[in-house]
Amino acid sequence: MKKLLSLLCVLSLSAALLAGCSTAGDAGTSETPGSSSTPSEVTEPGSSQETVDSLDVNVMALKGPTAMGMVKMMADSEPVEEFTDQLKEEYENVVSSGNIYHFTITSATDEVSAALAQGTTDIAAVPANLASVLYNNTEGGVQVLAINTLGVLYIVESGDTVHSVEALRGKTIYASGKGNTPEAALNYVLTQNGIDPSTDVTIEWKSEQAECLSALMAEENAIAMLPQPFVTTAQAQSENLRVALDLTEEWDALQADSETPSTLVTGVVVARTAFAEEHPEVVSAFLDRYQESVDYVNSNVEEAAQLVGQYEIVTAEVAQKALPECNIVFIEGDEMKEKLSGYLSVLFEQNPQSVGGALPDDAFYFSR
């Protein structure tokens, strides 16, 4: 223990020297968000005068690809003692300095929306269309920082009846995500193929993906719309389940002849506008760390899967199979604006309320 403490002290000194007097250095602990962000001062070892400003930053993510892309960042923010023996050796050199992140992972979209509106979280990963809805409903109260997930939606069935979108006509589809990207994407694909979502199919909306999985397991020839990694979870539970349709492929096919083809964007990360305006350097530091985390997850699937299991998003075994299919990305700046605005425009043409009644203006898109 003394040796470990000594090592941590040495590493802390090194990290502090590298951070210098920057206000954008960051790390922290994984905790449930409490009150709004508060600044604190970290005194550098060996100096009684120089300090580094730090900030408690509350971050929320939904269970699934958006949270999976954050796991390396979450791991780097954890005290060593909180890791399993399997992970402790790899991360025992992680040192916390600068901004302190408090992560919360939830399966309830409403919980994230409420936290953003009430100011109890600063940054959150949300469905792409929900970001636009929140922007409109809060009169510009959130800004989108980056795209973190592209298309991950699939039609899965326990039979062998669906081989085209047309084959969904007259069927019942179990789904979760009403009012968000899953509903918008499904409605678009159905409508553009001549199927009225309100009369030509029956969509039974569930509160969580687990309920869709239960329906798939319980009924013969059941059909559900699922995102990754829940597709892999379902197939791990029953080898009879098959992926019938990839909604990203169906979306792309519909956009092939468009002069300005759009991309199916599943998830984004947003910040409260007030927080981003008051602490732009903190937001920038977060984005740097987040990009590093996404790159790590995509490049180190086996190790990242262990972390996904560590945070109980899905099991490590499922994560290892699902991660390559999760379309986890980090896209910011002009490319983010082009892809996201194109996607939101398609949704707006189909149903203005799916994006909050109006397309967001330029202030919606954060840039650094």
Structure confidence at residue 20 as a pLDDT band (50, 70, 90): very low
CATH of domain 153-255: 3.40.190.10
So what's the pLDDT on residue 39? Answer: 53
d(CA 357, CA 248): 24
HSE (CB half, 13 Å, CA atoms) of 140? 9
Q: Average of pLDDT values for 227-254?
A: 91
With a cut of 80, say whether residue 364 has pLDDT above it: yes
| H or E segment and range at residue 51 | strand 51-62
299/25: higher pLDDT: 299
Structure confidence at residue 125 as a pLDDT band (50, 70, 90): very high
The CB density around residue 39, as the number of other CB atoms within 10 Å, is 12
Q: What is the pTM of this model?
A: 0.76
d(CA 263, CA 177): 19
In sequence order, the 6+-apart residues with CB closer than 8 A to the CB of 14 are: 95
d(CA 31, CA 59): 9
d(CA 73, CA 292): 8
Q: Average of pLDDT values for 191-196?
A: 96
So what's the pLDDT on residue 180? Answer: 83
Domain spanning 2-150+266-364: CATH 2.130.10.10:
no
On whether the CB atoms of residues 154 and 174 are closer than 8 A, the answer is: no
Q: Average of pLDDT values for 254-283?
A: 92
Q: Average of pLDDT values for 245-256?
A: 93
d(CA 332, CA 337): 8
pLDDT per position as a tens digit, 137-183: 999 999 999 999 999 999 999 989 999 999 999 999 999 988 888 89
Cα–Cα distances in Å, from 201 out to 190, 196, 246?
Answer: 9, 7, 18
Q: Average of pLDDT values for 19-30?
A: 38
d(CA 71, CA 292): 11
With a cut of 60, say whether residue 88 has pLDDT above it: no
What share of the chain has pLDDT > 90, as a percent? 64
Q: Give backbone dihedrals phi and psi of 126, rounded to 5 degrees, phi first.
A: -135, 165
On whether the CB atoms of residues 117 and 60 are closer than 8 A, the answer is: no
Residue 113 exposed, middle or buried by CB count within 10 Å (0-12, 13-18, 19+): buried
d(CA 261, CA 256): 7
Q: Where are the domains of the chain?
A: 2-150+266-364, 153-255
What share of the chain has pLDDT > 70, as a percent? 80
With a cut of 70, say whether residue 35 has pLDDT above it: no
